[in-house]
Amino acid sequence: MTQTTIAKILHYTTTQATSPADIERQMEKDGVLVYSLIFLLIPLVYILLRKNKRETHKRAKLPSGSMGWPFIEETLQIFYILLRRNEGEPHKKTQLPPGSMGWPYIGETLQLYTQDPSVFFATKQKRYGEIFKTNILGCPCVMLASPEAARFVLLTQAQLFKPTYPNSKESLIGPSALFFHQGDYHIRLRKLVQGSLYPETIRNLVPNIEAIAVSALDSWTGGHVVNTFSEMKKFSFEVGILAIFGDLEARYREELKKNYNILDKGYNSFPINILGTPYKKALLARKRLTKILSEIICEKKEKRLPEKELLGCLLNSKDDKGEILTEDQIADNIIGVLFAAQDTTASVMTWILKYLHDNPKLLEAVKAEQQAIYQSNDKGNRPLTWTQTKNMPITYKVVLETLRMASIISFTFREAVADVEYKGYLIPKGWKVMPLFRNIHHNPEFFTDPQKFDPSRFEVAPKPNTFMPFGCGVHACPGNELAKQEMLIMTHHLVTKFRWEVVGYESGIQYFPFPVPLHGLPARFWKESAN
Ligand code: HEM
């Protein structure tokens, strides 16, 4: 499509010219004028925005960038709408949501990734309201910052929005992992994953989770500096392995850990498929993981044990036609669950440590609650029970408030599978749709003084659909019970037997890509004498 043609079509809607020849001439003139303006303004806007960026984002990690080319993007959008009108589409009254699309291809990606995403979203929400458009990583997106809108996309009209992930990420996890799917396959896999994570199953894991927590904490003591987030990742990985395989030989655990770590590094790197890059290394590690999983599957099949852990559920599953899952489907879902379970839980636990450290009074209250349980368990000589973990009201509220404050999953992505109308706005087919959990969790309308860490706010249940740390609807987190158990058990042992000190005075947030306290919260841990 040439620039002149775009300008012509644009002009048809605005000109008052009377004859076709007039229109034609006028269109030619204005087409030149519009694009002359665009090309004159681009350098000016670029310079101004660079200046602005230098001043406001001194700590940005990515190369500097600019605010982009709103004119061309807006032009293309208007053109898009006009084309649809010409096709006779039934959207005469609907319009795209307000907002800016940034640069072609990269849109507003740099703005999103070089500043605190909360600031990015909050500024947009303030300016445009609860629904606005933007462009991230070359994809036009509609962002939704209200509970009703999130519910619309994730629950009530979920069939109109499919999950969407970049191909590079899908290749690393495995295309058959449940969270890339919707429909029958997703329902089947979800039942299996959910079944292996039901409270009845998790309750049997409490002693093992406790053993993993104690062993992790013991390895941190002695006063050396520990990267809390990295250590929490090791802990949540071990718990993930436990939930997936139950008992697993140490050699398999080590092999899985080694290769999964390579995969994890590559997942967050730039996806260049060239030998030596972290992404390529991750792809190779993924192949090795398939091989290791295949060996484990082979062994488990031979034993034919009716197991409740995820691998057992996946192996024993048959669909309506009696078909079993392929090894690739099993492997993709195991890697998928490990992936969903590890960084999420680890970053929330790191935040719990940070918030407790920063709020000494609260720490004392949590300590008192946990000490009472510790004493009733004969000073820790008897293991924690499921019932005890379900009766930790103060600690539980700390967990909830951490989930709200940190909102480690700031938003999620879906893609519209058809043109969808929401509150008079058009969400065109193929556009990404992002419910913004963080904005909802930080909206003063739903959570008074939202920047304050205040677990007591959870003495009253939040308004419906305003608290979604584990998502909502058909893809909501099936691992939420396990995650909460990990956090409660870890906190119990941490506050009853250890004290810790955060190292350094710098505070801030880093994105891995989940938000984590700066540098992963370096800290020193000491074991307190038993009392
Ligand atoms: C604090 C820790 C966790 C948080 C905050 C969290 C959050 C979430 C959220 C928000 C979603 C929905 C994403 C979407 O709708 O696009 C999700 C999905 C999922 N989570 Fe979690 N999660 C956590 C821990 C876990 C754990 C421990 C497991 C497994 C053991 C797990 C397994 C999954 C799976 C498999 C899905 C995909 C479900 C589906 O597509 O049907 N998560 N999680």
Residue 531, pLDDT score: 56
Rg (CA), the chain: 26
Q: Is the CB of 341 under 6 A from ligand 1?
A: yes
Residue 417 pLDDT class (50, 70, 90 cuts): very high
Residue 82, pLDDT score: 43
Q: Is the CB of 435 under 6 A from ligand 1?
A: no
Nearest CA to ligand 1 atom 31: 479
The residue among 145, 173, 201 that closes a domain is 173
Closest CA to 112 of 506, 410, 428: 410
Which helix (H) or strand (E) element contains residue 500? strand 498-502
pTM of the model: 0.83
What number is the average pLDDT over the span 359-371?
98
Q: Same domain, yes or no, for 322 and 349?
A: yes
Residue 40, pLDDT score: 43
Residue 24, pLDDT score: 36
Q: Same domain, yes or no, for 478 and 400?
A: yes
Is the distance from CB of 333 to CB of 296 less than 8 angstroms? Answer: no
Is the distance from CB of 527 to CB of 497 less than 8 angstroms? Answer: yes
The residue among 173, 201, 226 that closes a domain is 173
Nearest CA to ligand 1 atom 29: 479
Q: Is the CB of 310 under 6 A from ligand 1?
A: no
Question: Can you tell me which atom of ligand 1 is nearest the CA of 181?
Answer: 40
Question: Can you tell me which atom of ligand 1 is nearest the CA of 186?
Answer: 41
Pairing state between β 139-144 and 432-435 = parallel
Residue 530 pLDDT class (50, 70, 90 cuts): low
pLDDT at 278 over 80: yes
Assess if residue 269 is contained within a domain.
Answer: no
Cα 467 to ligand 1 centroid, rounded to whole Å: 15
Assess if residue 298 is contained within a domain.
Answer: no
Which helix (H) or strand (E) element contains residue 25? helix 20-56
**DSSP, residue by residue, 265-300:** HHHTS----STTSHHHHHHHHHHHHHHHHHHHHHHH
Q: Phi and psi for 214 in degrees, rounded to 5? A: -65, -45
More confident residue, 389 or 24: 389
Q: Is the CB of 475 under 6 A from ligand 1?
A: yes
Cα 336 to ligand 1 centroid, rounded to whole Å: 10
Residue 305, pLDDT score: 67
pLDDT at 502 over 90: yes
Is the distance from CB of 520 to CB of 227 less than 8 angstroms? Answer: yes
What number is the average pLDDT over the span 238-259?
96
Task: Please state, for a pLDDT cut of 70, what percent of the chain lies above it.
Answer: 82
Residue that is written with structure tokens 């969808």 in the block: 420
pLDDT at 303 over 60: yes
Assess if residue 434 is contained within a domain.
Answer: no
Nearest CA to ligand 1 atom 20: 477
In the chain, the number of structural domains is: 2
Q: How far apart are CA 435 and CA 150, in angstroms?
A: 5
Assess if residue 379 is contained within a domain.
Answer: yes
Amino acid (1-letter code) at residue 469:
P
Nearest CA to ligand 1 atom 17: 477
Q: Phi and psi for 328 in degrees, rounded to 5? A: -65, -40
Question: Can you tell me which atom of ligand 1 is nearest the CA of 487?
Answer: 1
Give the angle subtended at the CA of 169 by the CAs of 167 and 173, to the nearest 5°.
Answer: 115
Q: Is 477 annotated as a binding residue?
A: yes
Assess if residue 359 is contained within a domain.
Answer: yes
Residue 92 pLDDT class (50, 70, 90 cuts): low
Q: How far apart are CA 145 and CA 303, in angstroms?
A: 50
Q: Same domain, yes or no, for 68 and 95?
A: yes
253, two tokens: 């655990």
Question: Can you tell me which atom of ligand 1 is nearest the CA of 342?
Answer: 27
Would you mind telling me the total number of residues written for the chain in this entry?
531
Cα 491 to ligand 1 centroid, rounded to whole Å: 21
What number is the average pLDDT over the span 513-524?
94
Q: Of the residues 344, 400, 486, 512, which should be mutated to test ligand 1's pocket, given the most ligand atoms within 8 Å of the CB?
A: 344
Q: Is the CB of 312 under 6 A from ligand 1?
A: no
Question: Can you tell me which atom of ligand 1 is nearest the CA of 483?
Answer: 27
Q: Is the CB of 314 under 6 A from ligand 1?
A: no
Range of the domain at 361: 178-246+307-407+451-527
What number is the average pLDDT over the span 120-136?
90
Lowest mean pLDDT across 42-51, 126-135, 168-177, 400-409: 42-51
Residue 270, pLDDT score: 86
pLDDT at 96 over 80: yes
For the chain, give percent helix, strand, coil, nearest 5. Answer: 60, 10, 30
What number is the average pLDDT over the span 222-235?
96
Lowest mean pLDDT across 2-11, 169-178, 205-214, 493-502: 2-11
pLDDT at 484 over 60: yes
Q: Is the CB of 479 under 6 A from ligand 1?
A: yes
Residue 229, pLDDT score: 97
Lowest mean pLDDT across 98-107, 254-263, 286-295: 98-107
Assess if residue 279 is contained within a domain.
Answer: no
Residue 93, pLDDT score: 64
Residue 19 pLDDT class (50, 70, 90 cuts): very low
Amino acid (1-letter code) at residue 258:
K
Q: What is the pLDDT of residues 309-358, one digit of tens each?
A: 999 999 999 988 899 999 999 999 999 999 999 999 999 999 999 999 99
Residue 69, pLDDT score: 39
Q: How far apart are CA 63 and CA 407, in angstroms?
A: 26
Cα 275 to ligand 1 centroid, rounded to whole Å: 32
Closest CA to 66 of 77, 76, 57, 75: 57
Q: Same domain, yes or no, for 195 and 157?
A: no
CATH number of the domain to which 327 belongs: 1.10.630.10
Nearest CA to ligand 1 atom 2: 345
Which range among 112-116, 166-170, 292-296 has the greatest average pLDDT?
292-296
* Segments of 41-138 assigned E as strands: 131-136
Q: Same domain, yes or no, for 114 and 211?
A: no
Task: Please state, for a pLDDT cut of 90, what percent of the chain lies above it.
Answer: 69
Q: How far apart are CA 292 and CA 256, in angstroms?
A: 7
Cα 62 to ligand 1 centroid, rounded to whole Å: 28
Nearest CA to ligand 1 atom 36: 477
The residue among 144, 173, 202 that closes a domain is 173
Q: Count Cα neighbours of 505 within 13 Å in the Cβ-side half-sphere.
A: 0
Q: How far apart are CA 411 and CA 122, in angstroms?
A: 13
Q: What is the pLDDT of residues 76-86, one digit of tens each?
A: 444 444 444 44
Q: What is the mean pLDDT of the chain?
A: 84
